Chains A and B, each alone.
Chain A
Amino acid sequence: MMKKENQTKLPFGFLRRLLTTDEIDDVDGCFEEMYAQMVAEKGPGYARRWIFLQALKSLPGFLTHLVYWKLLMLKNALSVTLRSMLKNKFNFLIKVFGLAVGVACSMVVILYVVNELTYDIYHPDHERIYRIANRRITEIGEFSGAETPGPLAVAIKEQLSQAENVARVIPPFENSKHVLVIRGENRFFEKQVWFVDAEIFKILSIPFLEGSARTALARPKTVVISAGTARKYFGTLPPLGRSLSIELDYDTGATVTEDFQVTGIVRDAPANTHFKYDMLISMPTLLAYVPSLDQDWGEYHSKRTYVKLGRNVSPEAFARQLRPYSEQIASDFAKRVGKPMRLHEYFLQPLDSLHMKSNLTAETEATGNMYYVYIYSFAALLILLIGCINFVNLSATLAAARSREVGIRKTLGGSRWDLVFQFLGESLVITFFAFLAAFAFLSLLLSYFNRMAGTAITFQALGQPLVLVSLLVLFLVVGFSAGMYPALILSSFKPVSILKNQDMSGKQGNVVQRLLVLSQFAICIFMVVCTLVVFRQLTFMKGKALGFSREQKLILEVKSNQDYFRHNYEAIKSDFLKNDGITNATVSSSVPGEVIEGGYYLQKGATFIPRDSKRLKVLTVDYDFIRSYGIAMAAGRPFQKEAGNDEAAAYIVNEAGAREMGFTPQSVLGTVWTAHYHRKTKSVIGVTEDFHFLGLKDSVEPILLDIEKSLLRTITLTLDTKQISRALAGVKKTWAVHFPGVPFEYAFLDEMFGKVYQYEEQMGKLLAMISGLGIAIAFLGLYGMVAFYAHQRRKEMAIRRVVGASTATVALLMTRRFVSLVILAGVTAVPLAWMATERWLQDFAYRIQPGFPVFAFAFLSAFLIAMAAVLLQTFRAARDNPVDSLRSE
């Protein structure tokens, strides 16, 4: 019997679901009785078939009924939504605007994050591709570089079958960042020029548009160029087979300018690869000049090796196979230097981790920074939150006005969930409008963001599947999170109390709304504090004396004919000085604001042994450098021509340098040192005061000033303020005399130095924009909310005024509760902001202490803006003629 009951449970339950509530009352018992009868008369099997049939029969009717009424209700809900939007235009516009701004910011950040995180995953089989890097610890120190000796790739190719492909990527040595390329009148400095093994095309995805990957780079003096580069030099001409003249420095003592045949055109490198290329030159070209490339295991400089492992080969196992080569290197080193190498090892870096996770020396381009990904995401999240809060608050405020609609719907049989879905749908419709508006904002924001963050994200990037999915998720999350609370509030109203005209604003709802307003202003205060701190830190860093003068300095970088420059710099300098308006000229290896590459080693005494050497940054200069840059001396004297042989016998260090060497500025004078990089022995004749060569982010580096030709690279001219344009014209002429055919490019030190704080400036600007937008949205939201309350309470206000209250009293009455909200917001936000900014400031060697004024200012600005929003409305409401408010009922 039990079993049979179970069997009939299904159709009975089914029938019950299909029938409306009334019908169930009518027929439920009947069905059961009929069933029992049928069991008695015709047997249980028949009865069961019958009841199933009954259920089946009622299905079509049920479905038409359902679809018909749902559609009808959808149409109704849509028209009600539109009507309510039109009726509360201002409210609607604020909601859409707030959401749109938040969504647009989020879109930008989504694009940015997707771009950062999808680096190099477009290469087929990227999970099998690795770059080989090495770590070595010697007497001098520890190195980790994305560099390998040249022969490693050859050895892997010949001896290790587990590597499917292996290829080297090597920049031109001396002039890697500025290779002069000439075709007729077209002369440009190219930055992304590489020598590559042809096998690179089997490892990385570099699709050929013309030419063939197999043969293009087989011969010397052949080059494969990107489509963009081809347009630049050849315009509409077919480039294949034509030639380009390229000036290269093979580190053999002189630069060589030769004609290269273009043997292939490849697609431009996408934005999200760590290996950007404009020109790829065949490896045989390099081998012709540097035959030791395939043999010299001791030379690492910037030679990258990429390897594609076979299927099922683990990178750890492969790295183990590289160990014998490491040991060979270590023993060679021990023989050469007389000291054992403490550690030498190769390790593999997965291709897709190179952008975000690798930060070695000799990276092919500046690596990404998770720090900024987090900060930007967080900022976008905050502004999205403010937009959503606006939405929630304004919708909840409107709830009171729509309570009658809810009452009627409920009375007519709408269930709570019907209402929840209706209002959720409404919020999705508004979110949809917000997304439309956001796309309009996006085009504005994107160009601004690209300029700030130095990215090249395009509108087309929106088409990526990953981005589309994130946008859909964003849409649903925003729509639901913004709509859920108002929907729950509205649907919770009891029809009886609504229709009895009871107050619907509801105490509980108010608490939530006030909390939301509070958090909105807390976020605003938080962001304003962050913005202020960033800007104050920037002003502090820019304003603090750096220990050298950077006004009116014109910088000329010698990128071509460097040998000529190094041997004739005195003559070149004096030629420049002959022009009007130039008060000073000096040459040096770097100028302030540039990172001094590497570190060089100094050994006390007359010979160089790696042990016990000191590491200092080297700045090669001439006699005029210290005077020209206005660097003050702490002890001793500057370089002087009159002294005779300063060039051969004198070093100058800064105070940090003296400390690094283990002396005081006084006691270091006269000590004798030998430098690793040229093996010359000189004595210290002077100590400069510390100057902040790289700004104030890091502490002062120990620097050695040395008069030495070999590293010279830049000319610094000090201009007379009054005749800058004339001076420039003269300088250009002199340049053409000494460097014929080399494009004249110049920069002002001020501007170059500005780049030192580039990231901080970017962040400051971004924060300023975000907090500006955030405050604007919060202001509008509060304004809209207060407008509504003022309208709701206008009769109360009118009566108060009739009874004798002044405008101010009435306004104050409305304002009071918002004042306490903003104060509470300040109390919450200030400690959080303090913690966040403190964390950020820790990274600076020289930093401000954000004191009371910063927090007070942030708080006051939020307070005043909130007050403005409230008072604008309340005064209007309070000033209205009471008669107008009371007349109509």
Chain B
Amino acid sequence: MKELTRKEEQVLLAVHHLQDDAYLITIREQIFRYTGTNYSVGTIYAPLNRLHINGYIESRSGRNTSFSSKKPIRFYRLSKKGHAALVELQKAYRLLWTGFVTPAKEKT
């Protein structure tokens, strides 16, 4: 399996968290909420598109229901491959993080 970049990881996780409401804007917000980094839309779109091309996420066309104009929007969801990748990642990280103790007052 190809290794995912850091950003791809974050996007993939965000998509997982958001479940059925994952699209460009919400993904960006989600990442902001968890990591505090305010990425631009373009910075999010690139890994998102890459994940999509490589089959980690599936997409469907939808409408932006929360917004009055009902413009077309692409929603994303984890594919099986994406899910498997996350599982594997978690396994790997768990091993990698073994024995690491969070020092007091520190946050990533």
Contact = CB atoms under 8 A, between A and B. Distances in A.
Interface stretch (B65-73, B83-91, B96-104): B65-73
Contacts of B70: 29
B13 interface: no
A25 interface: yes
B67 A32 contact: yes
Contacts of A597: none
A24, A27, A31 — which one has the most chain B CB atoms within 10 A of its CB? A27
Interface residues of A, number: 14
A33 B74 contact: no
Given A24-B72, A34-B25, A29 B63 contact: yes
Contacts of A30: 23-25, 41, 73
B43 interface: no
A26 interface: yes
Nearest to A37: B25
B67 A29 contact: yes
Contacts of A37: 25
A32 B69 contact: yes
A65 to B, nearest CB: 15
Interface string A425-442: 000000000000000000
A25 B64 CA distance: 11
Contacts of B66: 33
A31 B42 CA distance: 11
Interface string B47-91: 000000000000001011011011111100000000000000000
A36 B70 CA distance: 13
Nearest to B52: A26
Contacts of A139: none
Given A26-B24, A27-B24, A30-B25, A36 B74 contact: no
Given A30-B24, A33-B64, A25 B72 contact: yes
Interface in B9-54: 23-25, 41-42, 45
Nearest to A28: B71
Nearest to B76: A26
Interface residues of B, number: 17
A657 B72 CA distance: 98
Nearest to B70: A29
Contacts of A24: 72
B71 A32 contact: yes
Contact of B25 (A25, A33, A57): A33
Given A33-B25, A34-B25, A34-B41, A28 B67 contact: no
A32 B25 CA distance: 10
B67 A36 contact: yes
B15 to A, nearest CB: 14
A52 to B, nearest CB: 15
Contacts of A57: 42
Contacts of B61: 25
Interface in A15-55: 24-34, 36-37
A456 B1 CA distance: 83
A33 B73 CA distance: 10
A28 B70 CA distance: 10
B29 to A, nearest CB: 9
A27 B45 contact: yes
A32 B72 CA distance: 10
A31 B25 CA distance: 9
A29 B64 contact: yes
Contacts of A33: 25, 64, 66-67
A28 B72 CA distance: 7
B64 to A, nearest CB: 4
Nearest to A36: B67
Interface string A267-285: 0000000000000000000
Contacts of A28: 71-73
A26 B69 CA distance: 15
Interface string A800-832: 000000000000000000000000000000000
Interface string A144-168: 0000000000000000000000000
Nearest to B67: A33
Nearest to B23: A30
A28, A31, A33, A37 — which one has the most chain B CB atoms within 10 A of its CB? A33
A29 B41 contact: no
A34 B42 CA distance: 12
Contacts of B69: 29, 32
Nearest to B59: A26
A32 B24 contact: no
Contacts of A29: 23, 63-64, 67, 69-73
B32 to A, nearest CB: 12
A486 B69 CA distance: 44
A37 B67 CA distance: 11
B96 to A, nearest CB: 34
A26 B74 contact: yes
B41 to A, nearest CB: 6
Interface in A56-106: 57
Contacts of A26: 24, 45, 73-74
A20 to B, nearest CB: 12
B64 A32 contact: yes
B5 to A, nearest CB: 20
A32 B64 CA distance: 10
Contacts of A25: 61, 72, 74
A28 B71 CA distance: 7
B7 to A, nearest CB: 18
A241 B85 CA distance: 107
A32 B65 CA distance: 12
Interface in A175-220: none
A475 B81 CA distance: 60
Nearest to B62: A29
A11 to B, nearest CB: 14
A569 B12 CA distance: 122
A349 to B, nearest CB: 73
Interface in A726-768: none
A30 B45 CA distance: 11
A777 to B, nearest CB: 55
B25, B45, B69, B70 — which one has the most chain A CB atoms within 10 A of its CB? B25
B66 to A, nearest CB: 8
Nearest to B66: A33
Nearest to A58: B42
A27 B72 CA distance: 8
A385 to B, nearest CB: 51
Interface of B: 23-25, 41-42, 45, 61, 63-64, 66-67, 69-74
Closest 7 CB pairs of A and B: A29-B71, A29-B73, A29-B64, A30-B24, A26-B74, A25-B72, A28-B71
Given A27-B45, A30-B23, A30-B73, 15 more contacts: A24-B72, A26-B24, A27-B41, A29-B23, A29-B64, A29-B67, A29-B69, A29-B70, A29-B72, A30-B24, A33-B25, A34-B25, A34-B41, A36-B67, A57-B42
29 contacts: A24-B72, A25-B72, A25-B74, A26-B24, A26-B45, A26-B73, A26-B74, A27-B24, A27-B41, A27-B74, A29-B23, A29-B63, A29-B67, A29-B69, A29-B70, A29-B71, A29-B72, A29-B73, A30-B23, A30-B24, A31-B41, A32-B64, A32-B69, A33-B25, A33-B66, A33-B67, A34-B25, A34-B41, A36-B67
